[in-house]
Every structure is written in C-alpha cells, then in structure tokens.
Structure 1
C-alpha cells in the first residue's frame, strides 16, 4: 500500500493510498483518531461509544515530510507514516517510540456481507425455557436477507520488548499481562467486553467497534480483529501514565457520574429473598446485631408467577411495596431490584412492548437500540417499581442472547465464540452485538434522570461496553463458581476491566454457584454442604476480605445463605473476622467516598493494578493478585486454603503467610504500623484474621467512626492518619451524598498535605459548600507510629498541626 496524496485541514490529515483512504484527526494533543476505508469516502457513522468527537476540537499540528515518511505531530504525539507501506509508528514528543505497525503495514480491511434475520410471522415459532441464569427465548422459521457490505478489520502491532498490555474488559481466565495471550471479545455471562488496550509503554488504544472482536499476541500474530465494521476506527491515546490514559478514554467516552454514597457501604444479596416480610426481617436482624448495612437486594422473580421480566411486585408476596420501602428507609437501608430485558408472554409489560413493535425477533427481548423502546421500558420500570421508592437497579442478563449455558461439558473457547455470537447476530445487527448493555443502561439512566435529580442512578450490570460507565453503572463479573482458583483469577479480571477507563467493578462475594451437581458445566463449586462446610466458610472469609476493598462491597449467590450470622456467632473466629472487615470498610468511608469524588471530578481509578503507580517496575507487570486501593493502600488477598479443604477437611502443615511484593519506596504494615523497605518480596503474615495490607509512605488516610450505615454520625470526629516518610497530599471530598447538586458545584473539598521536611500536616482552606455541610467539625490528627493524637476544631480555614503537637 503506497501513499499517493496528502491533504490537510482543521479536521486532520487525509491520506489517499493505493488501497483506500486513511484519515488522522486530533481530539486533543495526546489523542489521535485514525480511520481507514476501502470505499470512496469515510462513513460518517454515529458512534455509540464516543461522545467527544474530534471534529469538535481544533488541535494545532504540523506535517513534516522526510525522504521515507511523513511526521504528523502535535505538542505531545507524533504519528509517522511510511510512504511505501503506510505503516504507522507512534512516538512521544521527545521521539521515544511507543509502538508501531509491521513494516509491511498493519491495517487490513476485508469486505464482508452483513445480513439481518427476517422472522417468518406465519411460522410464529418461539421456543422458551428457563436456564440457570434466567428465561431464554429463541425464534425459529427465519430467513436471512442481505443488509449491507461492511469490513472485517485487522489492526496489527509490533509490541516492544518488555512491554505489558492490559484491558479488554472482565473475562474469566484471570489473565493479567495480555502479552503472549489471546482473548475473544463478545458479551456473555462472565465476559464483559470493553475494547481498550493499555500499555506500560505509556499509551492506550480504543477501538470504536460494536461487533465481536478477537485479540491475539501469539503464533498467529499480534493484532486486534473485528467482525463487521463500516470502517476501521480507533483512537491512540498518549499518557504516559495510566491515570492520564484512562482520563483520555473518559474524555472520549464520557465521565463517570457520582454514585450515591450508600452504594459504597455493604450490600447484602442472595438468590433470593422471596417476600416483603423477609427483606424487612433481614435488615432488622442486621440492625439488632449492630452489623453495618446500607442495601439489601431483591433478586429475580419479584413479579407474579411465571410472568418473567414483568416490572411490578407480586401482590401476594409484596402486598404493600410503598410501605415496604418506608420500612426499609426507616431503618436507613436501601433496596436494589433486579430487572431483565427479556419478558415472558402474558405479562402487561410484554404485551405493551409487543403492541408497540418494540420486541426483537424472539418476541421476548426488548430492542434497547430503539429510543422509543427504551422510553417505554423506563415507563414500565418507573410505574411498577421506582414510583414505590426503590433505590437502585440491577440490570441482570444484559448480554441477552447467551446460548451455551447448558450441558455437562463446557464447550471449547472457539465453539463458545461461534455459538454465542451466532445467537446474538440472529436478533441484533452484527456490528452492534457488543453494545446492547450500554443502550439498555442508557435508557435506565436517562429515564431516571428525567424523573428526578434527588436520587442518583446506580445500575449493577452483568455486561459492559466502552462508555457505559457514563450511565451510572457498576459491572459485576457474572455467575462465578466457588473455588480458590476462581477467587484468584477474579482479581486480575477486575483489574483489567478498570484499566479500560470503566471505574466500577465488583463480584459475587463467595461466588454465585457453591455446589457441584455435575449436570451443568458452569455449576462447579467445590462445596456441596454450602455454608455448613468449614472449607467454604474459609473461602468466604477470604472473598469477603477482598470485597471490602472493591468499589462495590456486595455478597451474592445461590445454593447457600449469605448473611454474616450464617458463618458463626460472636466470639467465633470466622464470624468475628467477617465483622472486623465489615466495620473496617465503614471506618474507611471518608477515604472511599473521597476516591469516588476523584473518579467523578478527576477521572481517577480507585481499583488499581500496580502498573498504575509503578508502570516502569517490570516486576509488577504480571502481578495479578495484588492491587492498590486508591493512592494509599496496597492489598494482597489470600487466594489459597490454609485451614480447611472441601468437606471441612482440616489441612495440616500449611504456613499462614503469603508472598507479597513491595515496590520501591517505604511501606507501613497497616495492622502494626511497622515500617518496611520496598523493592523486595516478603513473606507476609496471613492467618485468617489478617489480610496482608500495606500503606504507602507519604499517605494521608481519613477515617470515620464505627457506624451502622454510611451517612450515620455526620458530625463525628474524622481521623486523619498520616503515614510519613515523604511528602503527601490527599483531597477530602464531601457532598450531599445522593442527588445531582454536585453537578452545579454543591460539594466541598479540603486539601490535606503533609510536609516531611518540617513534619507538619496542613488542613487546607475548605473550597465549596453544600446543603447540610458541617461548617464546624473536628479532626483527630494521628501519625503512624505515634500513640497520641491531636483534636483540631476546623471552621473552614487552614490549620497546621506539627509533629511536636503529637505524643509518641
């Protein structure tokens, strides 16, 4: 492919080649948009993913013509184009090579025919059935009709030696560094696709494609391939730090809004609470035991009988939904309700959707790509559920056409790819099958935002897509099974998800499937006795310790109960350990909510792979079982049994410790305040009570009191614990907690800074205010390693506390 002509303008640079047209545009000085087509013109397609289009920006750039190539440069990034092959190389402003395509060129387009399915109304054959993850409906008697031509796209790279790659969403294999790996990108239970790669060389790649994709870095090559696109369309994002890359991704795909403060507290769920009386009784017991709780979840079948997906309460089991909500709210608890995009025949919601022509070809799943259908779906959810006062949505099964959750043998990866994508393409445009979840989320978000600004949208989804986070979503990892290998893999899966710019991810604490009936491949837990098995109790405690440091702290699953008291009684090791970590989560709430403020206001990421903060340390590149939780904490979950195997079999000779890598710098053991030098791997204490937990020197951690729910005791003293050793800074963020007034400036920030040279903490002047703000408050300043503290009365003006004011 030879370069023929070059045309430049405000929108970017158009390259006429011997094999099509390429265009390089600039969104910012560090973000380039690259498009390529074999057609006479670029498509001008509307993106579902990207909200900030490059055409809206005017970015200065220069073109330098050299003997063998062009250099198209901004102040931060250069794209070099080889004149003979049109191979691209990407360089930082100082000339550092970031990555490049193969010398022969790295962009391939192959024309492909795109078909849509025509459902034969005369046949009118729809098969329905219920699997382990809900109702499924499949239409027969269909024909295929040619819709248009599109392209298979293939984008190749030559990665650099020692370069690590991350991202692509949350999958189930536990891959951390994606080098030398392959991944299939299609939506499915336990697969949440976000087509983003992030590199330790300091750049990211966002592919604007809604079709299924594959990633390869193996014997078949190093590339991203997509199935059906109007053109090749991707963004190259320069950092070089990961926080800068994820900020660039959110610049393109939208910022993440504030979630309600309560959503960072403990969320109790299981499959399933069946009645109004049971929901109220569970919350009452949490309160009677003085166990913190902010939300309880009503899983599937809140509807009447077999009216699957109907968005109303069964009047027999939920006789007075409004009174139920009043009772829960009186106990300072919220309710999250599961809703589905698929609806069984016979329900009012289904009939209304059918009458409007808003159902897809299986006559059960609504068309989330239709604005009118989304509006009707919200109307139904509002009238049937939200009007009663529910607080949060659980949009389950947002990859509605999964088709391989059956049989005793798990299909091979390539089989699963073909089975599931074929089923999705049966009902959806092949170029959009990965985007259903985002459009479904959009409808919920826009509907609730239009209904009220007093209650923030929060939506727990099983699937994801680039940009979905802008609709108030948290993605969880699907219906996983209870075993130690799954626990270990989940950490890397979640970290990769959050490196795609989507900040909120969680999992089922304790796993969804606990038993193993051996009849279905996915129902593969190791503990047939459930919570009665001491082996499961140990696994659950370790999972709970991890969950205390995730963006959402939520227990859920089937087969066995999940409430704290199911794991023992007060005075017993496992019960007491669960309670300790439950209370720790709540003491950390000022820190956690400040991180949420940083997510919304500074494009921050709270659940962080070590490469976020130690990108150039090659030793962290493959570590998938440690992570940073905000700037201060490094968490090293225990992911192997130390006490019991399945069947309550007692283990012998297992050391109660785990290996932990401490990156360069100084660290504090959170539990003892012992100072440790970094750059080494240590054997950390890891008995059941102890999650290996470290605080980075140069950290300030705000802590709250023991509370029963997140907004209890707003007037309480806030502890500010300083971990010295180097200068430190932290922004304490506060707002009203559950409305959108922050969007118009109703929030407050207090800059905290520690000066190591003169050993002093400055509590800065408060910036901003909001309704209900504590104008006068008290801080207790502590220094790690010191026994004493100093109480400071703070009235919004700067206060300095020196080491001499504290006692050892």
Structure 2
C-alpha cells in the first residue's frame, strides 16, 4: 500500500501477519534499498483494508494499523484496539544533507510511548540499566558499546530502525525518536507478538536465525593477553589436564604474526610460533579446541594489505595500533601504517578469506576471535566519515561494519567446509549478526565491582536486541584499580564472583591483560579462591545437557539463553526493571553477587598481609518473581514467589533458584565436553507445577542437524498425578545412544542438591527409546 501525503511518499508493507515495514521518503525522490540486516522476503498476507474519512485502516490476523491520510501519522493497535504505539504528529523529518558529494537527508521519526511502558534492547551499553526509558544514546559502534537500533517494549512489540549511519536514540518526557545522519528515507519495521519472546523471534525471522554452536563451545575457555609462544599456550592446556580441571578451548591473542608492521598478517611470522601446525595438533591431541585472534586491519608489510590496496579497499582513518613501536607508551613518531579494510567490498572479503584460509584455517583452526570488529576508529574526525566504501560513504554504513566483516568470514568458511560449525567470538555486533554463528563479548572492560554489575544489564539488553550469544571477560580485562591483583583479596573475590556469573552466560571465558588469569595462579587446591573457581568450572560441565538443549531452543524456536525477567514474568511489575538478576534458560534464576562481601578497600596498604578468612557470611537480597514457587538450588528449600529474600552468599555460593515444574538434567563429571556420552544422566525434578524438558542430542559438530540428524527425548512432570513421563525418543543420528540410564531425583529440602551429583537416587530407570511413566512413591 502506497500513498502520498503532504509531499511525503508513505508505503506500508506487511512481511507477515505480525511484521510491518514502514517506508517514508520525499515525493519525487527514489528510495531503492537492499537491507544489510533484513533477509526475510515479504510473505503473502491476508489483509482487510478500509478507508473511513481521513483514516486508512489495515488489519491482519494479528495486528491493525491506522494511517491518518491528512497528516501521515501511523498508529499500531492489537486486534482488541488497544493502542500499542503511535507516531508523533508531524514526527517525521527529512533535512537535506550532502554526504561526501551525495545528495541525501538526515532522517528522524518520533514516537509516543505510554508513561508506564518500559523499553529494552538497543544493543549493549555499560550503564547498569535494564529499561531504556529517559535515555539518550549516541549510537556509533565502540569497544565496549554495541549499538543495534531495535527497541522492545514491555507491551509486547518491537521497532527495528533499519539504518546504518550514526544515529541518536532518545526517550524523554516529550517523545521517543531515532535520528540518523544519513538516509534516503525513513525505514523501520514494527513487529507485534504480545510478549518479549515472540518479538525477539520476529526479529530473528526478519534478520536471520541463529545456527547451532558445537557442544565444545559451551565448555570452559581460557585466554590471556597474550600467550607469547606456542609452547606457553600448549603448556596451559597440559596444566589444566594435569590438575584435572575441565577445559574445552584455548585462545591465542595478537602478535603471533610478529611486529606491528606485519599487523594481522594471518600467518605465524613470530619465531616463537615455530611450528603452528604442531601447536594446533597438540591442542587437539589434548582434547581441546583452539581459536585465534584476527583483526579487520592490516600492517603495510603484509601480503593482504598489498592485495587490498590494489583494489582501493583500505580506509585512511587512524586505527589501532598507532605506532610501529610495540612498547608503551605509544610513540606516534613511528606510525604503524595499519589500515582498516573495506568489509563492505565483496572482493575485499574474498581477499581476506583467501589469506585467512591459506595461512590459518588450513592448519585445522577451530574458530575465530574477531577483535576490533567495530572497528577501532581513533581520534575520529568528521572528514573520516567521508571515506568512500564500496556502498557509499563510511558515514552511511558505519554501524554495520561488524555485520559485514563477521559475515564475510562466516559465509566463506561455510563454502569451504561444513564439517565444522562456524564459531566466531567478536567484539562488536549489528542487527542480523546472529545468523553468522557469532558470539559477542562485551569488550575491554575494566575490572571493578561496578563493571561486573553492569555486565548483567548489558548482556540482557543485547539478548533482547535479537542476538542470543554473549559473554564478558571473566575477571575484567584491565586491572587498573588493583595493585598486585593475584594476591589482592578484593580482586580475588571479584574474580570468583565474575566466574560465578560467567558460568551462567552463553560462553564461559576467562581473559585479561596484565597478569595471567589461569586458576592455578590463584593458588592450589585447598585455597578458597582456587576451590571456588574449580567448583564453577565443574558446575558448568554438569549443566551441559541443559545448556545444549537450551541452545537447540535458540536455533529451532528463536528462544534466548540469557533472559531478562521481562521475558518470563512480564505480568510482574516488580520484575520489569531489575538489573542484577536474570534467567539462564527458562528454569534457572541467577542473582550474581555484585559487591564485595569480604575485602572491600582492605588491601590499600601493601605493608599489610591480609588473611583469607571467610568465616563471616554475608547475604545478597534476591527478588523471586511472582506467579511460581522457587527452589533454592543449594538447599532444595521451596520458596513462594513474589517476595524479596536474603540469601547467604559465602565466597563459593551464587544465589540460584529453580522454577517449580523444572526438570533439570545433570551431565557426568568430565575433563572436556565430549569426553563421556550422556548414557547415565541424573534428572532432577522440582515439583509444585507441571513441567517439561526436552533432551536434545546430535553429532556435536557439523551441520547434519540441519538435515534432521538429531534426537529429542521429552520429559513431562504431571504435578497432580505425581508422575514423570519419559516419552518416545524422536529422530536419529550416527553414533546415537540406543540404551541408557536415567537417575531420577525428586528435589526436596536438604536432600542432596547443589553442585554435586547425588549419590542416592529416588528412581533408576533403563531407557531404550520407548515411553516410560514413573510414579513418585
């Protein structure tokens, strides 16, 4: 449907029953756009269209829209005529703009929100806030801030502003608006679902579904800035194996290529990496996986730089590193000459992959750590944004850079081989990036209690922006606030609390600069810090059957792994703006400890040697959402929801609560994710409500699951009849288990719950794929 009102062309385009695209542009001007984010094509949608007076109404089976033919204002309603969102009167603006020689506009659109409404999403910011009401954001990609112009409302709708230029988002007492520096028109998508899960699902349907990660990516990861030789890296994996502490991934950070003039050569030119194939093979021989740092910029002495320069695919603005001299402080008298490549250029992306494939992927590397994917843009000047890209000025497409560079690697790798699922860890993101097998980390955050707390809302809003995989550097990247951090008791507690939080993030990875963070640098077995770190690594592996099943929900049902409380408790107003709790999957409530319990400001005097005394136990206040009962994970105690409680939180305890009706599988004790098959699982039943859980299994890597090669086993708990049903196994794949045991535990107060596997079970059943009904005595 298209019409012209007051010199503005307006087009309403339904993509499906719940998703509508709105396009506005000045009359007489062409609007031709191939979205970088949106990949869904409009589906045939049955519509009822009426015109009454000055109002044009369009109704689908899930949504109705009213267009005021007099002033062009658009309003969105549900089928019961409840107002969801409306544009502000005269809220669309086009301002003539010369974008590096191209005539275009600065564009904006204002909306009106209800006073009690909360909004979420918009990417990741380090503000410590869940709701984005009364917020102004200058949306230009940065190291620790990722911007995705998608907002999700507590009223059950979402708006995706499909623009890639620097954008201001603001919500204030007058209105809510997006304003972008460059645009041939206003272009946004409205989607209605009634709840956050459905809206996120609509965003994924629009911009791409998230594929499965390999099982090993959900194990524990260790990295450091940086391992300085291949021997040092391999020795870390060996040390974990000697200590019998689980590990699945090791990461090599920068400078394996040599000096800064060889920046990101995508070859091992540093002599300390004398036999990279041997290094990768040794890591694999230790049953671990390896990924490696790659950047989006190149030093002037690299082959890739020279190839890109020939096709004019290098930008001229200042990026990291500024100096060719590797020691600090930065010496700008010896400029590095490093330049960012034009990821918008398909021929440049071809060159990038060809060199990466020959230099590193061919060695058997398991994945990529794409650093500076925003990219680093230092001392930014207005003229820098005039830089030409393959798709126009850098200003026009600036925020979509991470989408293009991550997508370039993913698409090329998939063409090269589908034996290995794509896994990319990256520092920045844009709408649609989930379709490329990418996990975003929160950037180079400084270690502090405030930073730890801020990670929670940062990760949750990122997930609410449609991208489900996220993590932070466990322990914080920089250690500016701590002297002698490994012996500083305040930092030791912070590191443990961050490790506890990281256990319940989609990726669990310890990383940082300055001092090494491997657990054995914090002491030996028997030391409280060491023991707490080890405890949570083991707990992570115990939860792998639950985590992998949740990841299947992410792929198959567009679900989310790290869930803001609004996703599951939108009827509980007390839960809508809580910024230090979340659901991990749909069953586990996590309330990280985000302030020092023991050692705050204790170790400023280096002449005093404090003693690790954890005899005093403090408490953390936790809100348990209404509408369900909860079980304390550690004690098995049942607690009614809708109240605030205090939970004792000694060093090795993070408050965890399991939703009534949960069926929670526990995996075997292992040293790596695939060491043992899941043929002897413990299954914990948390009574008090009906519940379901589906155990998902496949070949753990490759893309055969997309061909239907996987199995599901559905467990159902009927609270009234007190019966657990294990249904028929569905599906098949090569190497699947035909026979197994399930060890059933009905959780109750003080009955052997918590991190450890239970030694005495209520029921032990043999299962060969056929339905079993188990009655609780």
TM-score range, shorter chain: over 0.9
Q: Is the 8 A contact 2:742 2:766 kept in 1?
A: yes
- Matching residue of 1:154: 108
Q: Is the 8 A contact 2:463 2:560 kept in 1?
A: yes
- Matching residue of 2:776: 803
Give a deviation string over 1:728-787, Cα, whole Å, max 9, x none: 011211111110111111111111111111111111111111111112121112111166
Q: Pick from 695, 702, 707: which aligns with 1:739?
A: 702
Report matched runs for 1:418-497 at 5 Å.
419=380, 423-426=384-387, 428=389, 429=393, 430-497=395-462
Q: Is the 8 A contact 2:2 2:9 kept in 1?
A: yes
Structure 1 segments unaligned to the other structure (5+ residues): 1-12, 116-145, 405-418, 516-525
Is 1:165 the counterpart of 2:127 in the alignment? no
Q: SS state of the match for residue 10, structure 2?
A: strand
Q: Is the 8 A contact 1:258 1:600 kept in 2?
A: yes
**Cα separation, 2, equivalents of 1:598 and 1:81:** 37
After superposing the two structures, state which structure 1 stretch, 287-296 or 723-732, moved more.
723-732
Is 1:718 the counterpart of 2:681 in the alignment? yes
**Cα separation, 2, equivalents of 1:160 and 1:470:** 33
After superposing the two structures, state which structure 1 stretch, 738-747 or 60-69, moved more.
60-69
Give a deviation string over 1:466-493, Cα, whole Å, max 9, x none: 0011111111111100111111111101
Q: Pick from 345, 353, 358: which aligns with 2:300?
A: 345
- Matching residue of 1:392: 367
Q: Pick from 178, 181, 196: which aligns with 2:150?
A: 196
Q: SS state of the match for residue 532, structure 1?
A: coil
Is 1:273 the counterpart of 2:196 in the alignment? no
Q: Is the 8 A contact 1:401 1:423 kept in 2?
A: no
- Offset of 1:98 from its aligned partner? 0.9
**Cα separation, 2, equivalents of 1:421 and 1:462:** 24
Q: SS state of the match for residue 489, structure 1?
A: helix
Q: Is the 8 A contact 2:5 2:69 kept in 1?
A: no
- Offset of 1:527 from its aligned partner? 0.5
- Offset of 1:356 from its aligned partner? 3.9
After superposing the two structures, state which structure 1 stretch, 715-724 or 444-453, moved more.
715-724
Q: Is the 8 A contact 2:8 2:26 kept in 1?
A: yes
- Offset of 1:182 from its aligned partner? 1.2
- Offset of 1:348 from its aligned partner? 2.0
Residues 798, 572 of structure 1: alpha-carbon distance in 2 compared, 3 angstrom cutoff: same
Report matched runs for 1:649-660 at 5 Å.
656-660=618-622
Q: Pick from 197, 200, 203: which aligns with 1:249?
A: 203
Q: SS state of the match for residue 67, structure 2?
A: strand
Report matched runs for 1:178-577 at 5 Å.
178-218=132-172, 221-306=175-260, 307-314=262-269, 316-361=271-316, 364-403=339-378, 419=380, 423-426=384-387, 428=389, 429=393, 430-515=395-480, 526-577=481-532
**Cα separation, 2, equivalents of 1:623 and 1:540:** 23
Q: SS state of the match for residue 399, structure 2?
A: coil
- Offset of 1:89 from its aligned partner? 1.4
Is 1:53 the counterpart of 2:7 in the alignment? no
**Cα separation, 2, equivalents of 1:40 and 1:241:** 39
Is 1:581 the counterpart of 2:536 in the alignment? yes
- Matching residue of 1:617: 572
- Offset of 1:175 from its aligned partner? 2.2
Q: SS state of the match for residue 279, structure 1?
A: helix
Q: Is the 8 A contact 1:541 1:574 kept in 2?
A: yes
Q: SS state of the match for residue 72, structure 2?
A: coil
- Matching residue of 1:775: 738
**Cα separation, 2, equivalents of 1:790 and 1:719:** 10
Q: Pick from 74, 80, 105: which aligns with 2:66?
A: 80
Q: TM-score, normalised by structure 2?
A: 0.92
- Offset of 1:217 from its aligned partner? 1.2
**Cα separation, 2, equivalents of 1:789 and 1:711:** 27
- Matching residue of 1:408: none
Residues 696, 356 of structure 1: alpha-carbon distance in 2 compared, 3 angstrom cutoff: same
- Matching residue of 1:663: 625
- Offset of 1:382 from its aligned partner? 0.8
After superposing the two structures, state which structure 1 stretch, 767-776 or 421-430, moved more.
421-430
- Offset of 1:647 from its aligned partner? 5.9
- Matching residue of 1:793: 766
Question: What's the Cα RMSD here?
Answer: 1.7
Between the two proteins, the alignment pairs up a number of residues equal to 734
- Matching residue of 2:324: none
**Cα separation, 2, equivalents of 1:150 and 1:264:** 46
**Cα separation, 2, equivalents of 1:85 and 1:176:** 35
Give a deviation string over 1:602-633, Cα, whole Å, max 9, x none: 11101000000011211112101100000110
Q: SS state of the match for residue 147, structure 2?
A: strand
Q: Is the 8 A contact 1:42 1:231 kept in 2?
A: no
**Cα separation, 2, equivalents of 1:177 and 1:551:** 22
Report matched runs for 1:102-181 at 5 Å.
102=88, 104-115=89-100, 146=101, 148-181=102-135
Q: SS state of the match for residue 378, structure 1?
A: helix
Q: Is the 8 A contact 2:667 2:678 kept in 1?
A: no
Q: Is the 8 A contact 1:162 1:618 kept in 2?
A: no
Q: Pick from 644, 668, 671: which aligns with 1:705?
A: 668
Residues 669, 80 of structure 1: alpha-carbon distance in 2 compared, 3 angstrom cutoff: same
- Matching residue of 2:555: 600
Q: Is the 8 A contact 2:31 2:184 kept in 1?
A: yes
- Matching residue of 2:640: 677
Q: SS state of the match for residue 648, structure 1?
A: coil
Q: Is the 8 A contact 1:166 1:496 kept in 2?
A: yes
Give a deviation string over 1:23-79, Cα, whole Å, max 9, x none: 11111101011000004255121110100132xx11011112233422111010011
- Offset of 1:400 from its aligned partner? 2.0
- Offset of 1:422 from its aligned partner? 5.9
Give a deviation string over 1:482-525, Cα, whole Å, max 9, x none: 1111111111011000001100111111111002xxxxxxxxxx
Q: Is the 8 A contact 1:266 1:292 kept in 2?
A: yes
Q: SS state of the match for residue 149, structure 1?
A: strand
Give a deviation string over 1:383-430, Cα, whole Å, max 9, x none: 1111111111000001224225xxxxxxxxxxxxxx477645545521
Give a deviation string over 1:157-192, Cα, whole Å, max 9, x none: 111121100011011222210111111211111111
- Offset of 1:283 from its aligned partner? 0.3
Q: Is the 8 A contact 1:189 1:402 kept in 2?
A: no
**Cα separation, 2, equivalents of 1:652 and 1:470:** 45
Residues 801, 34 of structure 1: alpha-carbon distance in 2 compared, 3 angstrom cutoff: same
Give a deviation string over 1:250-283, Cα, whole Å, max 9, x none: 1110001111111110010110111110111000
Q: SS state of the match for residue 546, structure 2?
A: helix
Is 1:67 the counterpart of 2:69 in the alignment? no
- Matching residue of 1:523: none
**Cα separation, 1, equivalents of 2:44 and 2:249:** 46
Q: Is the 8 A contact 1:264 1:552 kept in 2?
A: yes
- Offset of 1:791 from its aligned partner? 1.8
**Cα separation, 2, equivalents of 1:245 and 1:272:** 40
Structure 2 segments unaligned to the other structure (5+ residues): 318-337, 605-609, 752-759
- Offset of 1:708 from its aligned partner? 0.6
Q: TM-score, normalised by structure 1?
A: 0.89
Q: SS state of the match for residue 689, structure 2?
A: coil
**Cα separation, 1, equivalents of 2:580 and 2:51:** 47
After superposing the two structures, state which structure 1 stretch, 104-113 or 191-200, moved more.
104-113
**Cα separation, 1, equivalents of 2:123 and 2:651:** 31
**Cα separation, 1, equivalents of 2:601 and 2:71:** 59
After superposing the two structures, state which structure 1 stretch, 474-483 or 778-787, moved more.
778-787
- Matching residue of 1:521: none
